[in-house]
Amino acid sequence: MNIWRLITHHENRDTALRWSLENGRMALGWGQIGDLRAHKFASERDIADAILYQFEIGNHPLNNSKSGGFSLWSLYRTMQIGDLVILRGAKMNRVVEVTGDYQFDAATTPLKDDRYSHQRTIQATQIDPNKLWHRAGRMANDGGSIYRTLIRCERQLSPSDL
């Protein structure tokens, strides 16, 4: 199974992490581009371009469209039911299992922030997040920055590795 690490929110990480656990959902930002299924994006680059365009027309400076493209494509297309995700807060971390496919829900979002509308359903586990992070290699599998919003960890693990 793939192991992922998600930074839960850029400003209020622990509040967003608690929201995720209470609502059984993890959420990513860039909601302004809308439902990824409706746009039929063919690649992470297409998503990054849509993010950049959306922020340009809103006159918002943006330097994370590439990270957004990768993160949203991963949430939408690469992540699988049964994968594990380390939700990284500021002071606490938790491991969850992905239980559902991609959803776009602008009504149910952390911190009443409709930007965090890209979601998947999750279930909390009792797996130690620090041990899982070490076992999964502590790196992104593509050599990219570990500071991206969502990364797939370097190593896949089997249930016996947990």
* Structural domains for the chain: 3-161 (3.10.590)
Residue 84 has pLDDT above 70, yes or no: yes
So what's the pLDDT on residue 147? 85
Check residue 12 and give its pLDDT: 86
Strand 3-7 relative to strand 84-88, pairing: parallel
pLDDT for res 11: 80
- Torsion on CA atoms 64, 9, 26, 22, rounded to nearest 10: -170
pLDDT, one tens digit per residue, over 59-68 is: 555 567 888 9
Q: How confident is residue 148, by pLDDT bands cut at 50, 70 and 90?
A: confident
| Per-residue pLDDT at 137 | 94
Q: Where are the beta strands (DSSP E) in 2-117?
A: 3-7, 25-28, 84-88, 93-98, 103-104
Q: Which of 29-33, 50-54, 61-65 has the lowest mean pLDDT?
A: 61-65
Q: Which residue has the tokens 């909601």?
A: 31
Question: Tens digit of pLDDT for each residue in 91-144?
Answer: 999 999 999 999 999 999 888 878 899 999 999 999 999 999 999 999 999 888
Count the neighbouring beta carbons within 10 Å of the beta carbon of residue 78: 14
Backbone angles phi, psi at 44, to 5 degrees: -65, -30
Instruction: Give the model's pLDDT for residue 3.
Output: 97
DSSP annotation of 27: E
Nearest to 19 by CA among 101, 89, 100: 89
Question: Cα(24)–Cα(26) distance, rounded to whole angstroms?
Answer: 7
Which helix (H) or strand (E) segment holds residue 118: the answer is: strand 118-124
